């Protein structure tokens, strides 16, 4: 079950032993940023303060991308992903802005120690 696929940015999981390195896995997610969010983000940048809509968009992107990473690992028979790395980028042009997020890691099989 995908909910049981463990994720960590560490190279190991405390309380678990890696029994097999399965493969490198990745998930790529692209999200369009709403024009109004972009406009209000610009105001917030100009006047200062935190931009809640941008923070929410980043959180949603992270959650979705890590969920995709879990699915990828599970499809290979792994029950954990170690050394998870998240890379964010913005793609903009033509009046549009896109958030690009890539999650990578090593899919492994682990057992409790």
Whether 103 shows a pLDDT value over 90: the answer reads: yes
Residues paired with 49 in a beta bridge: none
Tokens at 51, concatenated? 């931009």
pTM (global) more than 0.75: yes
Question: What are the residues whose beta carbons fall under 8 Å from the beta carbon of 94, sequence distance 6 or more?
Answer: none
Whether 97 shows a pLDDT value over 90: the answer reads: no
Domains and their CATH numbers in the chain: 2-112 (3.30.110.70)
Q: Looking at residue 45, what is its pLDDT? A: 56
Q: Is 84 exposed, middle or buried (0-12, 13-18, 19+ CB in 10 A)?
A: middle
pLDDT digits (tens, 9 = 90+) for 8-42: 999 999 999 999 999 999 999 988 766 445 555 55
Where in the chain does DSSP place strands (E)? 6-7, 16-33, 80-93, 96-112
């Amino acid at each position: 079950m995908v909910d049981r696929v463990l994720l960590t940015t560490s190279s190991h999981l405390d309380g678990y032993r890696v029994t097999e390195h399965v493969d490198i896995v990745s998930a790529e997610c692209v999200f369009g940023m709403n024009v109004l969010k972009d406009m209000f983000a610009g105001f917030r940048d100009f006047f200062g303060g935190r931009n809640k809509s941008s923070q929410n968009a980043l959180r949603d992107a992270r959650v979705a991308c890590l969920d995709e990473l879990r699915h990828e690992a599970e499809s290979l028979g792994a029950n954990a992903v170690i050394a998870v790395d998240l890379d964010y980028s913005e793609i903009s042009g033509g009046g549009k802005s896109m958030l690009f997020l890539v999650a990578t890691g090593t899919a492994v099989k682990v057992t409790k120690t």
